[in-house]
Structure 1
Amino acid sequence: MSLGSIPNDIKVPLVYIEIDNSNALSGTPALAQKVLVIGQQLGTGTASPLTLNRITNSESQMDALFGKGSMLARSLKMFRKSNDYTDVYALGVADLSAGSAAKGEITIAATTAKAGVIALLIAGESVQVGVDEAATAATIATAMIAKINANTNLPVTAALKAATTETVELTAKWKGQTTNDIDIRYNYYDGEQLPQGVTLTVVEMTGGAGTPDMDAVIAAIPNEWYNHIVMPYNDTQSMNKLRDELVNRWGPLKMIEGIAYTAFRGTFAESGAFGVARNDYLFTCMGTNKAPHSPWEWAAAYAGQASYSLGIDPARPLQTLVMTSLLPPAKEIQWDPTERNLLLGDGIATYMVTPSGEVAIEREVSMYRENSYGDPDPSYLDITTPATLGYLRYSLRVMVTNRFPRHKLAGDDVLARLDPGQPVVTPKIMRNAMLELANNDWVPKGLMEDFDGFKETLEVYRDSSDQNRLNCVFKPDIVNQFRIFAALMQFKL
């Protein structure tokens, strides 16, 4: 008989021992996590647009590649504050050839000004502007422009508005409708107040227009596995393009599924309307409310925490995980539990503000709500579901390719007569291998429950039309998440 790759007719003595690793693994090798962060870069960056760059934890690297204050550099910095471990790749998008950059204004009025400090907050970053005794609006405006432009990490530049001496005009560093979401405010933190005699009038960033060529962006994404994708563009066309790509990657022919993280900045009504307009099971969108940081930074922070945690355990809920460095909206406009519950039903992921003012994930729902007939469908309610299913598929594929890489296929009737070491797989052998995988990997890792039900319904059989094909139907009962504890207290007197 033949044994492995040792020839049957070899005559030279003495010992020939082949090493076979097909049964070496008793579990599943760790699934390497890769994150793709998409975002606009500035012309000052050294990276070629639409090329992939592997990112370390160096902020100077991010600035050099994509430009200081760019969307992509700021997103990467925010991602790394929540996750400094996972393998990250960045895909820079050149500034739009058509479109416009948003502009905003800060108008200063000063009457017998007292010395003090103007505490600005631009895109979540503090800008402190000193005010001298008896300073005029013009001198304050000049000082403000200098302080803003000195902080090159900001996504805006400042200049004096034409034909004025007291109005500071802020202009985004890139074009596109995303620039409308850059926040401008003052006196955000408790205790901050304007110097006596000084008032400010803020005009929000507006006028940003234009969206990227998502066909070119998607074409630039390598045909490789990115488990998590940071999506900064939430316009309908861009999201539809990425949705189609994600669904294609999720399919059985590619099996390189990924979850996209985006965010939406708006009121309660605007956020709900945005959520119900979509129905994507591989997207999760965090509603930011009118928070200081921009949506693309929220998406990056959200993806940072999610990618790290789901890489450890794809079935474990993300609730209470803090998205480091994000600032919450002002207390008076933060959404209450009723509003957040409604938004979750609209397909918008929510956050809570901890007693110490940190922003923590509350529930990581997907944007999927309805089946193809428009009826409610909670099967992909939380992104832990596709994350868990993706791991189960990965582990099954690894088991099959490692254990049966060059095997012959036969019916179960040959089992009693096979020589030991024969590379033959039968439906029964494959079924037992899958039961072993479920019992030794999926159940102990807390990814699947009801092993007896899985065993009873597991079917492995040869295809009736192709005798070289082995078919399988398996029904894992994936674990759920502990989201709600409900109790009724019935007391006696």
Structure 2
Amino acid sequence: MIFNTITDSQVPCMSAEFDNSLANTKQQGFKTLLIGFKNTLGKANLSKIYQVNSDKQAQDLFGLGSNLFQQYLKYKKNDKKIEVSCIAVAEGDKEASTSLVFDFEDPTKPILDGVLSIIIFGEILNITINSTKDLKDICNAVVKEISNNIDIPVTCILDQTKPNAILIKTIHKSSIYNDYAIYLNGYEDKPLPTNLKMTYADKDNLIITKFAGATKEYLEDIDALFKEEIKDNKFNLIVTPFFSYEFNNKMADILKNRWSSNSQTDGLLLITINKEDSNDKIFKANLDNLNCEAIIPLNYANSVSPTYLINAAAAAQIALSGSINPASPLQNIPLVGIKPPFQNNRIDIDTRNSQILKGVGSITTIGNTPTLERVVTSYKRNNAGMPDDSYQCAETMLTLSFLRSDFKQYFWTKYNRHNLAENENNLDPSLKILTPNLAKCEAIACFMQWEKNGLVQNLDDFIEDLKVELNKNNSRRLDIMMSPTLIKQLLQVAVQIRFK
């Protein structure tokens, strides 16, 4: 028999030690990383990881109303259990702000009482207008209403270059805010106060005007951020507001390395867009050529909520489901705190199906509730350039990540100080010696537990395919090849009613 610490003693004694190699059942916890911007009120250092445990801590670190603070709040509205860490990164442009001018037309008749109801960054503002107010008073009322809402990440003042106009700038200088719109409220039948008129960028879709101006998403060196700060910290989900082609390709390379057998710090990157048409230039430029099993793109077409908040809400629901059961279907899951597109702006099932085939997951609206419909990765082709759906489902990636982590946790905790021998030796079973047959039994035991937990199926096939042997070129290495059949998710039910 071999002991860990007990040696021979010349003094009469009885020694007893503890060995926990058979007792550890702890799993590595599910963790999420949020990346975004802080504002001048935030005390956090740029490019530094902070584990955040409360709304107050997030506010102190990143600043009230900041991009990262808002992401954190939206995440926690959807999940309060998963451990969350955050990193604030440098904004995209030092000078170029993302801004817009919101102006009214000179009325030809007196403006009557009513309510101006607008939506900006997903926040509905109802501004009471009465007939005693002129356009300057109305502009001041709009400025006050926007400025008093801490959930709208902008500064708002009267425009000094033209009459009856408001200048609005995002507090963060980044191109992620380009194309965000100010909408006339399309949820309720609230017409503009009589004789109040404004210029529309897109009247059919109730878009008054859009933000524009910044040219870059961020100034961060993403490679350096992962190498120098994130390092080998494992995050199951990585959530960012960025979605450019350049960023996606950098992250694809980074994640490929993190999923490798040497690193095993695997995690999934979540990105969200809100484009109706897959032929949209941003959709095509950023996502058409993306082909990475570790990147999950989602699309919630025409949503009035900012994509970075949709992303945070979706990530929280995916993390919660994945932490409970990684194979559980990521479908029909409501997103809390997200506003849906207007009724006439919701895309149909054929369009959503087409986008899923292009490697972009779908968020739909059930009633008026934004709901995760299907979550897929951007993986579409294998190394030979041929169509391949093996890594299409996000549940597949979550399950594979769990199986590898669980088997390593169990097996290596138990056998990391064992010797290695052939099967045929006559060995004392009390000795810490691992044989291929013993390893095979352990692999089968793990599979049976996974099967019991609803992660895998077909035990007989697993046993038949399982190979465990000493490496022919390295007698100190044990090789295990296992082929688990993963549990599949119910996606469709087909029924034919053949009546007579």
Instruction: Please state if 1:490 is matched with 2:498.
Output: yes
Residue of structure 2 equivalent to 1:266: 275
> Residue 68 of structure 2 is aligned with which of 72, 81, 87?
72
1:197 is aligned to 2:209: no
Counterparts of 2:173 and 2:494, CA distance in 1: 49
Matched, 1:348 2:349: no
Could you tell me which runs of 5 or more consecutive residues in structure 1 were left unpaired when the two chains were aligned: none
CA distance in 1, matches of 2:429, 2:458: 33
Q: 1:464 aligns with which of 472, 478, 481?
A: 472
Which residue does the alignment assign to 1:49?
A: 46
Cα separation, 1, equivalents of 2:498 and 2:120: 52
Change (3 A) 1:192 1:64: farther
Query: Matched residues in 2 for 1:99 and 1:380: separation?
Result: 42
The reply to whether residue 444 of structure 1 matches residue 444 of structure 2 is no
CA change 1:2–1:353 in 2 (3 A) is closer
Cα separation, 2, equivalents of 1:147 and 1:2: 75
C-alpha displacement of 1:245: 1.3
Amino acid at match of 2:390: S
Q: Determine the structure 2 residue equivalent to 1:167.
A: 165
**How far apart are the structure 2 equivalents of 1:188 and 1:338?**
24
Instruction: State the alpha-carbon separation in 1 of the partners of residues 5 and 62 from structure 2.
Output: 53
Deviation at 1:334, TM superposition (A): 0.6
**Structure 2 residue matching 1:412: 3-state secondary structure:** coil
Contact 1:263-1:288 within 8 A present in 2 as well: yes
- Structure-1-length-normalised TM-score: 0.94
Name the residue aligned to 1:211.
Answer: 217
How many angstroms apart in 2 are the aligned matches of 1:311 and 1:346? Answer: 27
Of 401, 409, 416 in structure 2, the residue corresponding to residue 390 of structure 1 is 401
CA contact (8 A) 2:27 2:406 kept: no
Assess if the C-alpha contact under 8 Å between 1:181 and 1:295 holds in 2.
no
1:23 is displaced (CA, Å) by 2.1
Following the alignment from structure 1 to structure 2, what is the Cα–Cα distance between the partners of residues 97 and 336? 37
- Tell me the residue number matched to 2:77: 81
Task: Tell me which residue corresponds to 2:346.
Answer: 334
| Alignment partners' CA distance in 2, 1:62 and 1:24 | 37
* Contact 2:117/2:185, CA 8 A, preserved across alignment: yes
Match for residue 251 of structure 1? 260
Q: Give me the whole-angstrom Cα distance separating, in 2, the residues matched to 1:276 and 1:88.
A: 31
CA 1:2–1:163 in 2, change beyond 3 Å: closer, same or farther?
A: closer
| Inter-partner Cα distance in structure 2 for 1:433 and 1:108 | 73
Amino acid at match of 2:175: Q
Counterpart pick for 1:412 among 420, 423, 426: 423
The residue aligned with 2:35 is: 38
Residue 413 (structure 1) shift? 1.0
User: In structure 2, how many angstroms separate the alpha carbons of the residues matched to 1:208 and 1:327?
Assistant: 25
Distance in 2, matches of 1:135 and 1:412, equals 92
Query: Which amino acid letter does the alignment assign opposite residue 237 of structure 2?
Result: H
Rate the CA distance shift 1:410–1:116 in 2: closer, same or farther, 3 A: same
* Distance in 2, Cα, partners of 1:114 & 1:180: 34
Q: 2:337 aligns to what?
A: 325
Deviations 1:327-363 (A, max 9, x none): 11111121100000001001111012112x1101000
Structure 1 pair 64/11, CA: closer, same or farther in 2 (3 Å)? closer
Which of 294, 301, 306 matches 1:294? Answer: 306
1:429 aligns with 2:441: no
Structure 2 residue identity aligned to 1:6: I
- The farther-off stretch of 251-260 and 262-271 is 262-271
Shift of 1:277: 2.3
Secondary structure of 1:30's match? coil
Task: Look up the match of 1:364.
Answer: 375
1:309, distance to aligned residue in structure 2 (A): 0.7
What is the CA distance between 1:181 and its match in structure 2?
4.1
Q: Which residue of 1 aligns with 2:203?
A: none
Aligned residue for 1:203, secondary structure, equals strand
Q: Does the 8 Å CA contact 1:108/1:140 hold for their aligned counterparts?
A: no
Using the TM superposition, give the Cα deviation of residue 97 of structure 1 relative to its aligned residue in structure 2, in angstroms: 4.8
User: 1: distance between equivalents of 2:16 and 2:443?
Assistant: 29
Give 2:461's aligned residue: 453
Residue 136 of structure 1 and its aligned partner are, at CA, apart by 1.5
Conserved in 2, the CA contact under 8 Å of 1:141 and 1:165?
Answer: no
Distance in 2, Cα, partners of 1:347 & 1:99: 35
- Residue number in structure 2 paired with 1:19: 18
Report the secondary structure of 2:211's partner residue: strand
Could you list the per-position Cα deviations for residues 98-134 of structure 1 after superposition, in whole angstroms to 9, with x for gaps in the alignment? 4522112221234311222211211001222221224
CA–CA distance in structure 2, aligned partners of residues 264 and 3 of structure 1? 58
Aligned residues of 1:176 and 1:211 also touching (Cα < 8 A) = yes
Deviations 1:125-184 (A, max 9, x none): 122222122421121011111111122321111122233231112111111210114331
Distance in 1 (CA, whole Å) between partners of 2:26 and 2:495 is 41
Q: 1:96 to 1:341 in 2, by over 3 A?
A: closer
- The letter of the residue matching 2:169 is T
Following TM superposition, by how much is the alpha carbon of 1:211 offset from its aligned partner in structure 2, in angstroms? 2.7
Distance 2:300 2:493 in 1: 26
Partner Cα separation in structure 1 for residue 180 and residue 283 of structure 2: 21
Q: Any idea what SS the aligned residue of 1:438 has?
A: helix
Instruction: In structure 1, give the amino acid aligned to 2:402.
Output: Y
Q: Distance in 1 between matches of 2:120 and 2:272?
A: 19
Contact 2:93/2:215, CA 8 A, preserved across alignment: no
- Does the aligned pair in 1 maintain the 2:74–2:313 contact within 8 Å? yes
Alignment partner, residue 239 of structure 1 = 248
User: Aligned partner of 2:497: which letter?
Assistant: M
Q: Deviations over 1:257-302 (max 9, x none)?
A: 0011111132313275243221111011111212111111111111
Describe the superposition over 1:165-219 as per-residue Cα deviations: whole angstroms up to 9, x where unpaired.
Answer: 3111211111121011433112232233322221232221112211322234334
Change (3 A) 1:129 1:85: same
Q: For residues 177 and 54 of structure 1, what CA distance do their matches in structure 2 show?
A: 27
| Residue of structure 2 in register with 1:101 after alignment | 97
Q: State the shift of 1:426 in Å.
A: 0.5
Q: Which sits farther off after the overlay, 479-488 or 92-101?
A: 92-101
User: Which residue number corresponds to residue 220 of structure 1?
Assistant: 229
- Cα distance in 2, alignment partners of residues 295 and 62 from structure 1: 20
Are 1:478 and 2:486 matched, yes or no? yes
